[in-house]
Amino acid sequence: MPVIHIDNLDHPGVKPYWSLTEAQLRNRLEPEKGIFIAESPKVIRVALAAGYEPLSLLCEERHIDGDASDIIAACPGLTVYTAYRPMLTELTGYTLTRGVLAAMKRKKFEPLSQMLKDARRIVVIDSVVDTTNIGAIFRSAAALGIEAVVLTRSSCDPLNRRAVRVSMGTIFQVPWGWLDGPVNSLKEYGFKTVAMALTDKSVPLDHPALKAEGRLAIVMGTEGDGLASTTIEEADYTVRIPMAHGVDSLNVAAAAAVAFWELRK
């Protein structure tokens, strides 16, 4: 276990933690060559358990024999970069509450046909760009039995550092992938699509026909404008969550959690 103490920002080994943008980390052309940053021992442990490969660790020195000791023991030969808290704050741009970061390799994506083969309830995240909402939707999906997450290319990267942190690592537990065609192309895999939207034709979330469906793709739209009109028109169902006190809608992450619970199989 090589331990390298960092006292400035010039060391090439810590560039992924501070100088690379999310787009550079992601490597769109060759995703399997991209990396991401996982923060906190708990999240890093979940990623390791899901088979993600660590490239290096960055932490306060006290965590080497403390919170990060089991992670280091599980990864022989892992390079550990360490620094005092003020330097870590300068490196990362904010104060770390748990003081441990890991740079990890991304995985090659499984084809949607394989990922969705046995799924009965999935969520489609369409053009959601807020990282907090992405992380929260994944956490609800994992907790409430959603078997896969499919994202349109206009959505935020789930392996964004903040999204991973908000999800508490559940992004590593639920299969997910990108949808390159229109949302209604999921019908090719045997799913009925459920557009969560307020229209004159929307049925309530507890409509009995919904639970009777064998395979549902629950489509959640962007935070501001909601789903595109074509997505709504092409959906098998348009669904609303009944509201009280004149409230017209919920935040997309909250609405997703309600829909997941009600439509669980």
Domain containing 55: what range? 3-105
Q: Is 25 left (phi over 0), alpha (psi -120 to 50) or beta?
A: alpha
> What global pTM score does this model have?
0.90
Mean per-residue pLDDT of the chain: 89
Percent of the chain with pLDDT over 90: 65
154-163: b or e for each residue (b if 16 or more CB lie within 10 Å)? ebbbbbbbbb
Whether 149 and 231 map to the same domain: the answer is yes
Q: Are residues 58 and 133 in the same domain?
A: no
Last residue of a domain, one of 78, 105, 132: 105
Note whether 81 and 140 are same-domain residues. no
Whether 165 and 209 map to the same domain: the answer is: yes
Biggest distance spanned by C-alpha atoms of the chain: 63
148 has pLDDT over 60: yes
Residue 129 predicted with pLDDT over 70: yes
Per-residue pLDDT of 150-167, as tens digits, reads 999 999 999 998 999 999
Whole-number pLDDT of residue 84: 76
Question: Which of 19-23, 67-71, 128-132, 239-243 has the least mean pLDDT?
Answer: 19-23
Same domain, 253 and 215: yes
CA gap 207, 215 in Å, rounded: 15
Residues 136, 210: one domain? yes
Domain check: are 118 and 77 in the same one? Answer: no
What are the residues whose beta carbons fall under 8 Å from the beta carbon of 132, sequence distance 6 or more?
Answer: 162, 163, 166, 253
Same domain, 168 and 149: yes
- CATH no. for residue 89? 3.30.1330.30
In whole angstroms, give the CA distance from residue 253 to residue 255. Answer: 5
**136 and 228 inside one domain:** yes
Q: How many structural domains is the chain composed of?
A: 2
- Return the C-alpha torsion angle 111, 22, 74, 68, nearest 10: -150
Q: Which residue has the higher pLDDT, 127 or 246?
A: 127
Looking at the structure, do residues 96 and 220 belong to the same domain, yes or no?
Answer: no
pLDDT given at position 11: 80
Q: Are 153 and 86 members of one domain?
A: no
Provide the CATH number for the domain around residue 229.
Answer: 3.40.1280.10
